[in-house]
Amino acid sequence: MLSVADIFKIGIGPSSSHTVGPMLIARRFLADVRKAGKFEQISRVHVELHGSLALTGHGHGTDRAVVLGLAGFEPHTADPDTCDALWNSVLETHHLSLLGEREIRFVPDRAIAFAMDIMPVEHPNGMRLTAHGAGLELLFSAIYFSLGGGFIARVDEFGAAPKPAHAGAIEFPHPFSSGEKLIAIGHRTELSIAEIIAENEDTVRPREETESILDSIWQAMNASVERGLQTEGVLPGGLEVKRRAPEIFQRLDTVGETSANEREALFDWLNVYAMAVNEENAAGGRVVTAPTNGAAGVIPAVIRYYCADQPNAADLIRRFLLTAAAIGFLYKEKASISGAEMGCQGEVGVACSMAAAGLAAVWGGTNEEIEHAAEIAMEHNLGLTCDPVKGLVQVPCIERNAIGAVKAANAARLAIQSTGAHRVSLDQVIETMRQTGLDMNNKYKETSQGGLAVSVVEC
C-alpha cells in the first residue's frame, strides 16, 4: 500500500506527469546506465517522447524537465530559478553535465524528439531514452512511463503495484483496497479514516515523523498559495494569460471577508487560493502534487479557507490530509490519477473527491459521511475531459481548480446534511470513472487534439 508521502509530493510545475515524471525518469535512466557499468562511456543521450508526452510536451515543458533530470535535479529540491538558469545555459552552450559529473554535447532540439505518431499501448505517457558511446555505439536503451502524480515505471515494471516511497515490504495493520473495506475497518476498530491511515503510517516511521511530514506538506502548499497571491505578471507559454489571483486577493483583502458581499466570500476566497496555486504551477513554481500538479490548487484552497486560521489548525490539517490521502490511494490503485488516461476527472475530479473527504472529516463527519462526500464530489466530475489550450496547464486548468474547490465544499456539505443512506458508493463511482476514462476518446486525454484546445483560436 501507498503512504501519504506518495500522494503528496513536493515538486515543480507545471505538470506531475509531463514535468515531474520525466525529470525523475531522466535521472532514473542515468542510474540504470550506471548500474549497467556504462555511465563513464556516455557521450550522447537521445530522448524520444511518446503519446501524450509528445503531443502536449512542448506546452508542459517536458523537454526542459528531461534536461533538468539528466543534469541531476530532483523535483522536490530543485529551485525554480536555478532550473531556468540551467535550461538557458544548455540552450545556449549545447553542453550538459550528466548528473553534474559527465559533460556531453547536448542540443535539445536534436536530442529530444517529440514522436507524436507513437502511442504506446501500455500507457499514453511513454519515453525511450538511449545512451551512446563516443563511436555512437549503443550503450543502453530503455522505455519508461510517467504514470501521473509523479509516479514512474520502466517498461518491465509496468503493471506492477506502484512503488511506495517507504522502503521494504511493510505490512500495514489496516490494509484496504476499497471504500467498503475502509468503512469495515472503521466499524471493527472504531477508528476514524484519518486514524486508520495514521496507524498504517506508524509502521513506516514514528508518529512524530509522520506529523512532521504532514506539516511540511501543508507548509509547501501554503507557500505556493502565498507566492501565487503576491506574484503578478503574465504566465509563460505564449497564451498571454495574466495572473489574476493577486488582483482578486488585493480586492478581497481590502473589502474583508465580512463585507456586504459575505454571501459570495466563500466563492471568492476558495477561487483565489486555488487560482494562486495553479498560476504558480503554470509558471513552473514549487507546488505539491495533490494528487497531481494540474490539480494542485483544490486541496490547499479548501484547507486554507476552512482550517488554516482555526485555533487547532495543525490537528485539523493533519486530519484533512490523512483522510484525503486515503481517498487518493483508492483512485490511484483502482483507477488512475493520470489526465492522459482518465481525462481531467482523474486529476481535478480526484482532487475534488479527496478534498471533499478531508473537509467532511474536519467537520466531524463519520467515516460513512466522509465516504459519501468523496463519492458525491466525483459523481459530478465524471466525464470531465482534459483539453488544455496550447498544451499549457493554464486554460481551463487554473479556473477548473477554483471550481473544483467550491464543488468539494458543496459535496462535503451535502454528505454531512444527508440522512446517511446513498445509492452510489465510492467504489462504484471510482469504477465508473475508470470505465469512462477507458471509453473517452483520446482527443480528450491530454493530447490537446480536441475540446477547448481546438475550439479556441489562437491569435
| Nearer CB in complex with ligand SF4: 11/388 | 388
Residues across the chain = 459
Q: How far is the CB of 399 from ligand SF4 (least distance, A)?
A: 10
Tell me the closest approach of the beta carbon of residue 459 to ligand SF4, in angstroms: 21
Backbone phi and psi for residue 126, each to the nearest 5 degrees, phi listed first: -105, 155
β-pairing, 112-115 vs 44-50, is parallel
Cα distance between residue 257 and residue 408, in whole Å: 20
Please report how close the Cβ of residue 336 comes to ligand SF4 at its closest, in angstroms.
11
Is the CB of 60 or the CB of 132 nearer to ligand SF4? 60
The answer, yes or no, to whether the previous bond of 14 is cis (omega within 30 of 0) is yes
Of the two residues 294 and 365, which places its CB atom closer to ligand SF4 in the complex?
294
**CA separation (Å) from 305 to 271, 317, 341, 369?**
10, 11, 31, 21
CA proximity to 378, closest of 418, 333, 416, 330: 330
- Residue 263 grid coordinates: 454571501
Phi-psi region of 343 (alpha: psi -120 to 50; beta: other; left: phi over 0): left
Q: Is 453 in the site for ligand SF4 (CB under 6 A)?
A: no
Q: Specify the pairing of strand 286-288 against strand 151-154.
A: unpaired
Report, in Å, the least distance between residue 400 CB and ligand SF4: 6
Based on C-alpha coordinates, what's the Rg of the chain? 22
Please report how close the Cβ of residue 410 comes to ligand SF4 at its closest, in angstroms.
19
Q: Alpha-carbon distance 123 to 32, whole Å?
A: 21
446 binds ligand SF4 (CB under 6 A): yes
Size of the site for ligand SF4 (CB under 6 A): 13
Residue closer to ligand SF4, measured from CB, 22 or 388: 388
Binding mask 236-275 for ligand SF4 (x = CB under 6 A): ----------------------------------------
Q: How far apart are CA 334 and CA 429, in angstroms?
A: 11
Please identify, using beta-carbon distances, which residue of 295 and 303 lies nearer to ligand SF4: 295
User: Least distance to ligand SF4 from the beta carbon of 342, Å?
Assistant: 8
Helix, strand, coil shares, percent, the chain, to 5: 55, 10, 35
Q: Between residues 153 and 351, which has the closer beta carbon with respect to ligand SF4? A: 351
Nearest CB to ligand SF4, comparing residues 268 and 446: 446
Q: Quick one: 96 or 402, whose CB is closer to ligand SF4?
A: 402
Secondary structure letter of residue 170 according to DSSP:
P
Q: Shortest gap between Cβ of 13 and ligand SF4 (angstroms)?
A: 11
- Smallest gap from Cβ 404 to ligand SF4, in A, equals 9
User: Taking the complex as a whole, how short is the minimal distance between the CB of residue 348 and ligand SF4, in angstroms?
Assistant: 5
* Residues 39-78 as x/- pattern, contact with ligand SF4 by CB under 6 A: ----------------------------------------
| Distances from the Cα of 402 to the Cα of 258, 269, 407, angstroms | 21, 9, 9
Site string for ligand SF4, 300-339 (x = CB under 6 A): ---------------------------------------x
- Would you tell me how many other CB atoms lie within 10 Å of the CB of residue 306? 22
Least distance in angstroms from the C-beta of 429 to ligand SF4: 18
Q: Is 154 helix (H, G, I), strand (E, B) or coil?
A: strand
Q: Least distance (Å) from ligand SF4 to the CB of residue 98?
A: 30
d(CA 59, CA 108): 15
| Closest to ligand SF4 by CB, 13 or 339 | 339
Report the residue number, 56 or 192, with the smaller CB distance to ligand SF4: 56
The reply to whether 295 sits near ligand SF4 by the rule CB under 6 A is yes
Please give, one letter per residue, the 3-state secondary structure of 295-329.
CCCHHHHHHHHHCCCCCCHHHHHHHHHHHHHHHHH
Q: Is residue 284 at the binding interface for ligand SF4, with CB under 6 A as the rule?
A: no
For ligand SF4, the closer of residues 11 and 294 by Cβ is: 294
User: How far, in whole angstroms, is CA 279 from its chain's centroid?
Assistant: 14
| Main-chain phi, psi angles of 62, to 5 degrees | -65, -35
Q: Which residue is nearest to ligand SF4 (CB)?
A: 294
Nearer to ligand SF4, 246 or 346 (CB): 346
Smallest distance, Å, CB 345 to ligand SF4?
A: 8
Q: According to CB under 6 A, which residues from 335 to 394 bind ligand SF4?
A: 339, 344, 347-348, 386, 388, 393
For 91, the enclosing helix (H) or strand (E) is helix 80-93
Phi-psi region of 94 (alpha: psi -120 to 50; beta: other; left: phi over 0): left
Instruction: Tell me the per-residue interface mask from 389 to 428 with ligand SF4, x by CB under 6 A, - otherwise.
Output: ----x--xx--x----------------------------
Residues within the interface to ligand SF4 (CB under 6 A): 294-295, 339, 344, 347-348, 386, 388, 393, 396-397, 400, 446
